[in-house]
Structure 1
């Protein structure tokens, strides 16, 4: 039976995030979040395990996540951080990859001043080390980064890449272009995958959950058409999900995505979207 996997969630200690996001005014997420907080949601959603994703661009944060993974059975894979342009990048990637649950790296591209940071041959050494150790790449990007991500994905066709949160389209204002055209180009590359995550927090205010779901339907359909049931994977983006204007409820988001995927792909496809694809991409169980 295919495991059910949440392909994108975070844990953090707020005391270690001074000067980093989230700010104090984001009260729904301005506190510590650990495995004990997420366990009831996983049990209610019948989720077997998760992919724990970095949220600070520090070696210390990645070390903290790996330590958590050692003691948390539901954490099946870790997406960490390394400065991919540092002179010692290859050495640090090798050290990261030595952990049994280390599976991918994620530079925080959305926070960098240079939107084209990723389109740079200076990454050759780091990517070579990643492919040597069977690591994947999580792309934390926004629509403005997609042209540079396309150049990066073409330069490294052997590197598995997943676009986090579908590149955060401007759903609240329903601006589908140039996001749709850029995602279409990326979807033509077989090494590029996409996460069905983070979309409720991009949807803006609405009267109720059904209104949010209706607002998201065109975007989910675009992603389904582009990536199909074999390159799309579900993630909660918990606890950031708590910022969604309408509710931010884990179970509601999961149910909405299950309904959409069954409608778009048929009943046979959801096991891949809700577990199988994440297992293959992150080598869970390998």
Structure 2
């Protein structure tokens, strides 16, 4: 079984937000940790807090194309337009895009239609777009998915606020599960140990995972870590899924642990 982490951040600078404690997190660090955890590949979402992270992502993909692929980002400011999408997709290892839309001003753009040019561009190209959004904006994501059915969306971290613990962390779960009716929405089960109220194997989160699996299925639920903000080991984040969820076995396990995300983003 090939194991592919659906979201990590690589960066070479010293700065990082306080909840991403492994700074910097270099290619060499990731390869060492992946070997220890038996993780074969990882989807790099370049760190938004490091100005050089996008260029570093290209370097990682050029040096290790079999290990790292990228969902990149660019500033969604007044100068951004559709031409940037093609510029980004021409970079080595770049399979799609990923944006953090959790800040109020960006989330308002999401809901108001101010980013429709971006969704239209992704739709025309049939590319994946990752989104970090918070629960109040999930209905807007559903509207976008309905209007642009040829792009594939990935919702980060089950839309869980990384600073919240259960049960508050999953108060929005019904709204997230309602989006499963859109076949072009998938969810990253990333950062899951971070919302747990107990230690490994984080049994407090297992019911949430089962509900997500029952709604989205193995083809649209993607295991991953966001490893630099987790206090557990990468190996524990793997075995939590591969050994501790008795209902996740066989082909379904293979899909959730990597095959599905590779197909979703076109990483052949």
Instruction: With the length of structure 2 as denominator, give the TM-score of the two structures.
Output: 0.88
Paired with 1:27 and 1:119, the residues of 2 have a C-alpha distance of 28
Residue 217 (structure 2) pairs with residue 225 (structure 1): no
Gapped runs of 5+ residues in structure 1? Answer: none
Paired with 1:115 and 1:132, the residues of 2 have a C-alpha distance of 23
Once superposed, which parts of structure 1, at least 4 consecutive aligned residues long, lie more than 6 Å away?
A: none
| Paired residues for 1:33-44 under 5 Å | 33-44=25-36
Cα deviation 1:207-257 (Å, max 9, x = unaligned): x324xx11111111111111111111111212222xx3xxx2110111001
Q: Report the equivalent of 1:22.
A: 17
Give the deviation of 1:200 after TM superposition: 1.1
Cα deviation 1:148-200 (Å, max 9, x = unaligned): 22222222222100111111168624137651221122111100001111111
The counterpart of 1:271, out of the listed 234, 240, 254, is 254
Equivalent residue pairs, number: 267
Q: Report the equivalent of 2:64.
A: 72
Alignment check: 8 A CA contact 2:129 2:154 kept: yes
Paired with 1:148 and 1:27, the residues of 2 have a C-alpha distance of 28
Alignment check: 8 A CA contact 2:61 2:92 kept: no
Residue 101 (structure 2) pairs with residue 109 (structure 1): yes
Give the deviation of 1:33 after TM superposition: 1.0
| Paired residues for 1:238-277 under 5 Å | 238-241=227-230, 244=231, 248-261=232-245, 263-277=246-260
Alignment check: 8 A CA contact 1:171 1:216 kept: no
Give the deviation of 1:116 after TM superposition: 3.2
Residue 200 (structure 2) pairs with residue 209 (structure 1): yes
| Paired residues for 1:183-202 under 5 Å | 183-202=176-195
Q: Report the equivalent of 1:152.
A: 144
Evaluate the alpha carbon distance shift between residue 83 and residue 27 of structure 1 in structure 2; reply closer, same or farther with a 3 A threshold. closer
Cα deviation 1:102-150 (Å, max 9, x = unaligned): 1121221123435332123332322232233342110112223322222
Instruction: With the length of structure 1 as denominator, give the TM-score of the two structures.
Output: 0.83
Paired with 2:35 and 2:63, the residues of 1 have a C-alpha distance of 18
Pairwise CA RMSD of aligned residues? 2.5
Paired with 1:131 and 1:58, the residues of 2 have a C-alpha distance of 28
Evaluate the alpha carbon distance shift between residue 3 and residue 217 of structure 1 in structure 2; reply closer, same or farther with a 3 A threshold. closer
The counterpart of 1:164, out of the listed 135, 156, 179, is 156
Paired with 1:171 and 1:219, the residues of 2 have a C-alpha distance of 14
Residue 116 (structure 2) pairs with residue 124 (structure 1): yes
Paired with 2:147 and 2:56, the residues of 1 have a C-alpha distance of 32
Cα deviation 1:72-104 (Å, max 9, x = unaligned): 344432011123464442111111111241112
Gapped runs of 5+ residues in structure 2? Answer: none
Paired with 1:57 and 1:12, the residues of 2 have a C-alpha distance of 9
> Which deviates the most, 42-51 or 222-231?
42-51
